[in-house]
Amino acid sequence: MAIHNVPIPSRQLYIDGEWREPVKKKRIPIINPATEDIIGDFPAATAEDVDIAVEAARRALARDDWGSTTGEQRAKYLRAIAAKVLERKSELAILESLDCGKTLFESAADLDDVAACFEYYADLAEALDLKRKTPVDLHLDSFKSYVLREPLGVVGLITPWNYPLLMATWKVAPALAAGCAAILKPSELASITCLELGEICREVGLPPGALNILTGLGPEAGAPLSSHPHVDKISFTGSAATGAKVMTAAAQLVKPVTLELGGKSPIVVFDDIDNLDIAVEWTLFGCFANTGQVCTATSRLIIQESIASAFLDRLILWTKNIKISDPLEEDCKLGPIVSSAQYEKVMKFISNAKNEGATILYGGERPQHLKKGYYVQPTIITDVNTSMEIWKEEVFGPVLCVKTFKTEQEAIELANDTKYGLASAIMSKDAGRCERFTKVGVFLICCKQFFLINRHGITTRVNWILQAFQTGIIWINCSQPSFCQLPFGGKKRSGFGRDLGEMGLEKYLNIKQVTEYTCDDAWAFYKSPSKN
């Protein structure tokens, strides 16, 4: 089938450098979330296919054409992939939008980031050659030591549907740069461009088995990959619930995992901002970009009471101006939710908020001009208290909840009032305040009371607060910018470990200590047996 003059490819599983039909020959329909039409299908892998892919990956590591390559050699493949992505950018952007409902502008921007990420890790692969074997000075004449950095082995990469090819690249590029053999399992809700990555790898001559791509359902393909005894590591991005299952499966084999899970991120706006509209636009972008389907979305607006009324008035005016349409239309800024099930989930969150006593200040319904597709108006909810579901749980849709504050202390407490710890944002022109929200420290101020017993046994009352965002990512006077050079990840129930940056490469490396005794003299720990 061809839509907008771009054919929907009909692919098989990409294993060992070839397209292979799934063992059980199952396929899954592709549904365009903007029209609800079936536009194609893709293969559904099962445990049998996982076994075949793992064997192919292990063979790749044992062969000279991949297992013995230098970082410089691997960098050439990564740069060739980046060039092919840019060459096919227009086509891939349309496929991405058709598959997951992302606006065409956002899809095209994602592909620029995909190419940039492969280029970045090509540079790091080359640099890895210089520090693959790093001498360590022990200040001893009798020993010589060095640290050896080697590929970790076969890695399983499980990625989400909100940034299909980009999130896959965040894992695939560093895994290949490190010299691992990878098995990518993309989300069943958006797999088209991830399969096209397989075709790109085939075209640039990436050695067979270095990257294998298994599409399919989580329980049938993702679970066997997580628990496979010959997979050395799992890197997962997705929901907290699924992340817990991945971690449990990996734990049975004491297999390392990296988890990038959900978020309920705050954006705190102070009354000292110079330009209300700049703060309003960042607030909109922080929650409504990619139709709110962003793990770092700053979906809790915490705004200083003195400017709340004026800020919300401007926020509504800006929100009304957002174009909601088919994602392939020019100037579309908000497309559909990815699937019927996710659409129903978002609408239930909005309904529950209203039933709990919150006010739907704007939106909360299907746009009247769109009769088909999984569309939700950008939604602003006020009169929220911290016990409400809408305050506590990740919606993963264009839904912003609002609370006000009076003092800086109250703002940071509201911001940290979440089980998640992925990202946070602050809008303020006070450099000292921004520093306080960024840097962990204990400040003696008037807040909750704690009692300590000093060394003389005297009970002392102290007032203190941990004055900083409890997150892995902090944005100052902005929200959502992401760069491949910077580590990406969180704490608390948002997971652990990092994608991107140098840390994104290091997690795919095995670090070996090698120590040599260089002295000709005996060690002389034991008494030498006497000669007869």
Rounded (10°) angle between helices 192-204 and 89-100: 150
| CA–CA gap between residue 404 and residue 307 (Å, rounded) | 9
The question of whether 150 is a catalytic residue gets the answer no
Q: What is the DSSP string of 161-187?
A: SSSHHHHHHHHHHHHHHHT-EEEEE--
What tokens does 427 get? 């809008």
Nearest residue to 80 (alpha-carbon basis) of 109, 107, 112, 119: 119
Cβ proximity of 149 and 128 under 8 Å: yes
Please list, in sequence order, all residues whose beta carbon lies within 8 angstroms of the beta carbon of residue 39, skipping any fewer than 6 positions away.
1, 3, 8, 30, 31, 32, 98
What tokens does 432 get? 């000292």
Question: What is the SS3 assignment for 277?
Answer: helix
The CA-atom distances, in angstroms, between 397 and each of 124, 176, 344 are 35, 33, 11
| CA–CA gap between residue 124 and residue 126 (Å, rounded) | 5
| CA–CA gap between residue 438 and residue 416 (Å, rounded) | 12
From 260, 394, 408, 413, the catalytic residue? 260
| CA–CA gap between residue 409 and residue 468 (Å, rounded) | 10
Please list, in sequence order, all residues whose beta carbon lies within 8 angstroms of the beta carbon of residue 347, skipping any fewer than 6 positions away.
376
Ramachandran category for residue 422: left, alpha or beta (phi over 0 → left; psi -120 to 50 → alpha): alpha
Residues forming a β-bridge with 178? none
| CA–CA gap between residue 526 and residue 532 (Å, rounded) | 18
Rg, C-alpha atoms of the chain: 26
* Residues forming the active site: 260
